[in-house]
Chains A and B, each alone.
Chain A
Amino acid sequence: DVKVTQSSRYLVKRTGEKVFLECVQDMDHENMFWYRQDPGLGLRLIYFSYDVKMKEKGDIPEGYSVSREKKERFSLILESASTNQTSMYLCASRHGGRNTGELFFGEGSRLTVL
């Protein structure tokens, strides 16, 4: 089975702290994504990466950055956490190219910023 693993299920951080959310997939997928999930807003794309060292901004990149140094790992970074970044963060991966393949999701990381 495809497995997408997010390093932390629950985190509590303070305003201004730097936060790292890690995501690892074990299926050699080229594409990886970070979404944010909020009630009433659905899933919104923060950043995505089509291959190693590549990154593209999604719909809401402000306040976030990403790193993809290895194919299996995609990290989301909050340089200076703010209370409005309290949310559920979902990582997903998919085979690359002009495909219509499904996204495989991790179980999510629920971040609370105090």
Chain B
Amino acid sequence: AQSVTQLGSHVSVSEGALVLLRCNYSSSVPPYLFWYVQYPNQGLQLLLKYTSAATLVKGINGFEAEFKKSETSFHLTKPSAHMSDAAEYFCAVSDLLTGGYQKVTFGIGTKLQVIP
């Protein structure tokens, strides 16, 4: 089964600084990878996804992530943090089960704090 490791349950950055949220996965085959964001008191929404096309994936709100197979990583970045980016971010991997169905496994999440 797939697993996802998010390094750092809390990350603080200054407004305007680079955002880097780390995600590593375990997989013996190329996976499908996702980043979701959760704002306070809301459900999760998709930021971006990797599905074996381009290794650099662009998402909403200026976020992007790079798939690095050699490092089994899918880190999320944004060049300049905004106050509105304060939220919890989840990395997820899709696991192909017997029968062709896919199960999605989530990391523990990283809470991003943006300091004015």
Contact = CB atoms under 8 A, between A and B. Distances in A.
A100 B107 contact: no
A74 interface: no
Given A4-B43, A107-B43, A43 B106 contact: yes
Contact of A42 (B32, B46, B96, B106): B106
B43 A100 contact: no
Interface string B89-108: 01000101000111111111
A103 B9 contact: no
Interface in B42-64: 42-46, 49, 51
B107 A42 contact: yes
Nearest to B94: A100
A85 to B, nearest CB: 19
Interface of A: 4, 31, 33, 35, 40-45, 48, 50, 58, 90, 92, 97-100, 102-103, 105-108
Interface of B: 6, 9, 32, 34, 36, 41-46, 49, 51, 90, 94, 96, 100-109
